């Protein structure tokens, strides 16, 4: 039994080794075929030669560095039309896109309730004025009478009180004199205590009446002054009420609102926004009017390019309305704030949700006779800079040499063949497509290989049709 187990193990081991050898042989065969196939393809390609999309022929030319952007035509002049009256709209006479002239009626407000308010207020003012005038005349009469009575010589109550006071004073002084006389007699025992007491009581009563007469006169005078102050206050209040113009001001404002019930265009232009509709309140911005004669082309520029844009740079504008014709213009304003703020946090490991901000750039058309309509779509090439007599090559044709310096691979003609050679260069202004290149070894008609990593230095290549 042990022999059988050992025999089975040896047999399985041989099978495994046999399968492994077959896999290795298959893999080696695939590699040989791949190498041979690549060799055959290279031979075929070399025999056919490189097509013109595989290389670039250097030519000194004018290099224009530009940024392409899209946008639309907009008016630089726009005016918002408001209503000064917050009442419902009765009629709207225009629609979006209509041309209007200054003073054209755009909408009419419903003034029925306003007219009722004016009538009610006018009637109220007449009633109030009549009542206020009567109250003023009465208050004026009372006040004038109080002024007269405040004069001691003309106030009979004061005069009577003064007469009574003078009489009380004389009576008091007379009885005081008698009392003093009998007081001396009493001291000499000429009269009895009872007799002196009688004169003393008479004197004290006269004194008390005299003091009360003084208080009475003071009270009368005080009341006269108080009545005069009250009458003056009442008169001034009545006068202020009669002269109060607040209701008339309200009436004037209501009549102004009535005159403003027709919403008119302040300027000539095109209705570019319409928020007014029948039945809604006439408040806020009802219309926007744009000037069609002051048009700019507003384009959106990515944040990566916005720092390159400057006021005064040239622009070449195209629109569907003008076909392929290039409209010359220039940058007149560069936006400082992004049109759409990116609220997503930038995740450097995953930028799938990151949205690049865009800035608005305004372009002015040089030729005033060229008319673009508001809202027309347009695209523009903004000229960043222009250089005369420079070489340019595709960005993918630039490579680093062993010293990590910029270079290109060229196909240099040697007899009937072309040899791959390395040329040191310096990069200039670069776009997504091309780069300016400078170098003392560069020359016209030099053939630059567009994909240098596909070639080995010193190898031979064929150029199709050459």
Q: pLDDT tens digits, residue range 124-178?
A: 999 999 999 999 999 999 999 988 888 888 889 899 999 999 999 999 999 999 9
Structural domains of the chain, count: 4
Q: Please determine, for residue 42, whether its predicted confidence score (pLDDT) is greater than 80.
A: no
Residues with Cβ < 8 Å from 331, sequence gap 6 or more?
Answer: 309, 310, 311, 312, 313, 315, 361, 362, 363, 382
Residue 101 CA, chain-centre distance (Å), reads 28
What is the crossing angle of helices 193-243 and 112-149, to 10°?
A: 150
Residue 198 lies in a domain: yes
Nearest to 460 by CA among 66, 36, 42, 178: 42
Whole-number Å distance between alpha carbons of 265 and 106: 6
Which residue has better confidence, 356 or 165? 165
**In this structure, is residue 413 part of a structural domain?**
yes
Rounded alpha-carbon distances, angstroms, from residue 188 to 181, 182, 237, 402, 448: 11, 10, 70, 156, 161
Same domain, 70 and 81: no
Would you state the pLDDT for residue 406? 95
Residue 104 C-beta-side C-alpha neighbours within 13 Å: 18
For residue 430, the domain's CATH number is 2.40.30.170
Provide the pLDDT confidence category of residue 463 given band limits of 50, 70 and 90: confident
**Taking a C-beta distance cutoff of 8 angstroms, is the pair 109, 83 a contact?**
yes
Q: Do both 299 and 448 map to the same domain? A: yes
Could you tell me the pTM of the whole model? Answer: 0.48
pLDDT at 41 over 50: no
Please tell me whether residues 58 and 93 are part of one structural domain: no
Lowest mean pLDDT among 25-39, 218-232, 266-280: 25-39
Residues 61, 389: Cα–Cα separation, whole Å: 5
Residue closest to 41 by CA, chosen among 423, 458, 454: 454
Q: 65 and 93 share a domain? A: no
* Average pLDDT along the chain: 84
Q: pLDDT at residue 16 above 50? A: no
**Could you give the maximum distance between any two Cα atoms of the chain, in Å?**
185
Q: How many CB atoms lie within 10 A of CB 6?
A: 10
pLDDT at 19: 55
> Residue 366 falls within a domain, yes or no?
yes
DSSP category for residue 458 = T
| Phi, psi for residue 85 in degrees, rounded to 5 | -125, 125
- Answer yes or no: are the C-beta atoms of 441 and 424 closer than 8 Å: yes
Chain-centroid distance of CA 75 in Å reads: 18
456 and 390 inside one domain: yes
d(CA 197, CA 191): 10
Is residue 363 domain-shared with residue 441, that is, in the same domain? yes
Mark whether 330 and 376 lie in a shared domain: yes
Residue 466: inside a domain? no
d(CA 419, CA 462): 9
Secondary structure element (H or E) that encloses residue 332, with its range: strand 327-334
Q: Report the distance separating Cα 168 and Cα 413, nearest Å.
A: 151
Domain that residue 22 falls in: 1-48
CA-wise closest residue to 330 among 304, 305, 367: 367
CATH number at residue 91: 2.40.50.100
Please say whether the beta carbons of 145 and 318 come within 8 A.
Answer: no
Same domain, 409 and 321: yes
Higher pLDDT among residues 8 and 194, named by residue: 194
User: Residue 87 pLDDT more than 90?
Assistant: no
Q: Who's near 267: CB < 8 A, 6+ residues apart?
A: 79, 102, 289, 291
Q: What percent of the chain has pLDDT over 70?
A: 86
Which range (304-308, 321-325, 444-448) has the least confidence?
Answer: 321-325
Residue 156 lies in a domain: yes
Taking residues 311-332, what's their average pLDDT?
Answer: 88
Q: What is the mean pLDDT of residues 418-424?
A: 94
What is the pLDDT, as a whole number, of residue 399?
A: 93
- Asked, for residue 210, whether it belongs to a domain, the answer is yes
Same domain, yes or no: 437 and 302: yes
312 and 452 belong to one structural domain:
yes
Averaged pLDDT, 16-28 = 58
Residues 107 and 119 in one domain: no
Cα 316 to chain centroid, rounded: 31
Same domain, 276 and 197: no
Question: Is the Cβ–Cβ distance between 263 and 275 less than 8 Å?
Answer: no
Angstrom CA distances, 156 to 164, 211, 220, 400, stand at: 12, 21, 11, 125
Mind listing the pLDDT tens digit for each residue in 218-241? 999 999 999 999 999 999 999 999
Q: What pLDDT score does 372 carry? A: 83
In a domain, 137, yes or no: yes
Does position 74 have pLDDT exceeding 90, yes or no?
A: no
pLDDT at position 466: 65
Average pLDDT over residues 391-411: 93
Q: What does the pLDDT read at residue 432?
A: 77
CA distance linking residue 328 with residue 333, whole number of Å? 16
What is the pLDDT averaged over residues 238-262? 90
Contact 360/58 with Cβ under 8 angstroms?
no
Give the span between the Cα atoms of 132 and 142, in whole angstroms.
15
Looking at per-residue confidence, does 391 or 464 come out higher? 391
- pLDDT tops 80 at residue 30: no
Q: What is the pLDDT of residue 410?
A: 95
In this predicted structure, the answer to whether residue 430 has a pLDDT above a threshold of 90 is no
With beta carbons less than 8 A apart as the criterion, state whether 224 and 216 touch.
Answer: no
- SS3 at position 69: strand
Give the number of C-alpha atoms closer than 13 A to the C-alpha of residue 172, restricted to the C-beta side. Answer: 17
Strands 447-449 and 406-414: antiparallel
Backbone dihedral region of 445: left (phi > 0), alpha (psi from -120 to 50 degrees) or beta? left
């Amino acid at each position: 039994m042990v022999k059988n187990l050992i025999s089975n193990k040896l047999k399985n081991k041989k099978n495994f080794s046999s399968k492994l050898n077959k896999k290795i042989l298959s893999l080696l065969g695939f590699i040989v075929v791949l190498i041979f196939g690549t060799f055959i393809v290279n031979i075929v390609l070399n025999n056919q030669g490189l097509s013109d999309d595989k290389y670039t022929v250097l030519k000194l030319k004018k290099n224009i560095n530009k940024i392409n952007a899209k946008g639309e035509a907009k008016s630089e002049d726009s005016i918002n039309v408001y209503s000064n009256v917050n009442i419902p709209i009765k009629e709207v006479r225009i629609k979006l896109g209509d041309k209007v002239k200054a003073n054209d009626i755009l909408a009419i407000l419903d003034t029925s309730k306003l007219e009722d308010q004016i009538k009610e207020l006018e009637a109220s003012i007449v009633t109030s004025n009549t009542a206020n005038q009567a109250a003023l005349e009465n208050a004026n009469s009372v006040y004038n009478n109080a002024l007269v009575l405040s004069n001691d010589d003309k106030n009979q109550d004061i005069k009577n009180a003064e007469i009574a006071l003078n009489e009380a004073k004389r009576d008091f002084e007379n009885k005081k004199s008698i009392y003093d006389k009998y007081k001396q007699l009493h001291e000499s025992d000429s009269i009895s205590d009872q007799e002196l007491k009688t004169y003393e009581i008479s004197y004290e009563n006269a004194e008390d009446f005299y003091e009360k007469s003084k208080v009475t006169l003071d009270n009368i005078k005080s009341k006269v002054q108080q009545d005069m102050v009250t009458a003056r206050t009442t008169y001034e209040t009545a006068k202020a009420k009669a002269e109060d113009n607040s209701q008339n001001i309200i009436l004037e404002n209501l009549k102004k609102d009535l005159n403003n019930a027709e919403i008119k265009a302040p300027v000539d232009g095109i209705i570019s926004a319409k928020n007014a509709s029948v039945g809604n309140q006439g408040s806020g911005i009802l219309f926007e009017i744009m000037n069609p004669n002051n048009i700019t082309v507003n384009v959106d520029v990515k944040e990566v390019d916005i720092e390159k844009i400057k006021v005064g740079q040239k622009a070449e504008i195209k629109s569907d309305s003008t076909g392929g014709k290039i409209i010359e213009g220039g940058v007149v304003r560069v936006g400082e704030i992004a049109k759409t703020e990116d609220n997503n946090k930038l995740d450097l490991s995953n930028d799938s949700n990151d949205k690049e901000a865009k800035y608005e750039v305004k372009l002015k058309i040089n030729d005033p006779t060229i008319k673009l309509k508001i809202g027309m779509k347009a695209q523009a090439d903004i000229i960043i800079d222009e250089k005369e007599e420079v070489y340019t090559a595709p960005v993918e044709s630039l490579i680093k040499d062993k010293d990590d310096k910029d270079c290109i691979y060229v196909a240099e003609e040697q007899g009937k063949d072309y040899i791959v050679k390395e040329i040191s260069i310096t990069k200039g202004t670069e776009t997504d497509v091309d780069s300016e290149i400078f170098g003392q070894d560069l020359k016209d008609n030099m053939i630059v290989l567009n994909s240098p990593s596909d070639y080995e230095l010193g190898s031979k290549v064929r150029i199709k049709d050459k």
